[in-house]
Amino acid sequence: MPVYEYSALNKSGKTIKGIIDADSQSAARNKIRQAGNYPIEIQETVPVSKKSGGRKPLSFRLARRIRQQEVHIATRQLATLLGAGIPLVSALNGLIEQTTNQSFKKIIAQLKDSVNEGNSFTSALAEHPRLFSRIYVNMVKSGEASGSLDVVLEQLAEFGEAQQNMKSRIRAALLYPAFMAVVGIIVLFLLITFIVPSITKVFDDTQQALPLPTTILINLSGVLADFWWALILLLIGLVIFLRFAVQQPYGKKIWDRLKLTLPLFGDLNTKIAAARFGRTLGSLLQSGVPLITSLQIVKNIFNNVLLTHVIDEATEELEKGRSLSNVLKRSRWFLPMVVQMIAVGEQSGAMEKMLNKVADSYEREVETKIIALTSLIEPVMILVMGLLVSFIVISILLPIFEMNQLIR
């Protein structure tokens, strides 16, 4: 059934907007009138199908305006409705009424329309890959096949909210140090480029040799004052070059290795990857997705070619009848605790439970480590800023002290 977007006048004469599903535009007009409103404009919303290969602007704009938090809330609401015995189409209709985001409301209406036409809920979700990930679609597919869609949707909501909370905590912890770093760099740049030259002009007429720190400061200030634009262009060019290099296979491999081996941050990235691996794989297995299929989905969440290569090797070895723990044990990128818990899960037949425990453990550890790093970054930044400002002050005062000694 087509979905229409409309604007109409209500009984008070105010303009209202909404969406409605109907067999035709005239039927939609009649529905609006039956609700006591006078239709002004009615336009059909055309769903974007992944199979058609079209990346239409409508789909891109809609997906960008919808926050993942709204998807998680809608998923939990849908699970509650289905768990209460309400049919899927009626539950989707209930979501449409509860959703305030017009863009998301259109997407849900398109899902309802697709299900009404006889398509599975999985195929309807797959038409919106920018909004519903492969993990989401495959878990729903497993839920439909097993007849436990409400349980799977509840797991999806918990999984999505846990991932979102983890990202939010990381961003919140890094926000203040990043802000302070940017402000500090800007202040130092303005100080050296525009303020220092006006102060050091008094030394130009003196015939005495200036101290080395003062000479360095004056030369640095002159270079920045004359060629600050070149420095900015150089930084922009360097960023563009690095982005291009990272997109190349060899450059990406080097960058991904650095992310896992850098002091402090390497250990943090490894534990973040372990937490994501455990949470995602555990959720997929708990939803009934086969292990090999789950691994093929999980490798897409890493965004790291080294970890992806390990998962590809593990998939090949599993197809030969070997265990997952033995394959991961040979890799330096998977922590011993992850391997041991997987081995216990394989022996006990409760791998998803062990993986969720791994995720819980490393998520707590990641949060603790980020708090420790941010608490370390702040005093280091203050120390560096203090040293730089002290260098500027000393460089300005040294020749003044020497001049005073000469006068005496």
Please tell me the predicted confidence (pLDDT) of residue 234.
Answer: 93
Mapped onto helix, strand or coil, the DSSP state of residue 10 is: coil
| Dist CA 13 CA 130 (whole Å) | 38
d(CA 289, CA 281): 9
Query: 147-408 in CATH: which number?
Result: 1.20.81.30
Residue 157: closest CA among 173, 174, 136: 136
Thinking of the domain 3-146, which architecture would CATH place it in? Up-down Bundle (1.20)
Contact criterion met (CB below 8 Å) for 355 and 341? yes
CB 247: neighbour CB atoms within 10 A? 10
> What are the CB-based long-range contacts (under 8 Å, 24+) for 312-317?
none
Q: Tokens standing for 114?
A: 């697709």
The pLDDT of residue 25 is 75
pLDDT on residue 3: 67
C-alpha distances in angstroms, 226 versus 30, 33, 193, 197? 71, 70, 9, 11
pLDDT over 90 for what percent of the chain?
7
Instruction: Round to whole Å and give the CA distance between 287 and 112.
Output: 23
Q: Whole-angstrom Cα distance, residue 124 to residue 142?
A: 14
pLDDT confidence of residue 254: 92
Q: Where in the chain is the domain with CATH 1.20.81.30?
A: 3-146, 147-408
Residue range 93-111, pLDDT digits in tens = 888 888 888 888 888 888 8
Count of beta carbons in the 10 Å neighbourhood of residue 329: 15
Stretches where the chain sits below pLDDT 70 are 1-3, 21, 45-64, 204-208, 404-408
CB-neighbour burial class of residue 235 (10 A; exposed 0-12, middle 13-18, buried 19+): exposed
Q: What is the pLDDT of residue 257?
A: 92
Residue 406 has a pLDDT of 59
| Half-sphere exposure in the Cβ direction for 58 (13 Å, CA) | 13
pLDDT given at position 63: 40
| pTM of full prediction above 0.75 | no
Q: What single string gives the DSSP state of each residue in 294-352?
A: HHHHHGGGT--HHHHHHHHHHHHHHHTT--HHHHHHT-SSS-HHHHHHHHHHHHHT-HH
Tokens for 217? 């400061």
Residue 220 forms beta bridges with which residues?
A: none
CB contact set of 195 (below 8 Å; sequence gap of 6+): none
Give the helix/strand (H/E) hosting 359.
helix 351-407
pLDDT of residue 49: 42
- Helices 149-190 and 68-83: crossing angle, nearest 10°? 170
Give the pLDDT score at 341: 92
Q: Retrieve residue 96's tokens.
A: 């449409």
Tokens of 159: 């999984």
Give me the residues paired with residue 5 across strands.
19, 43
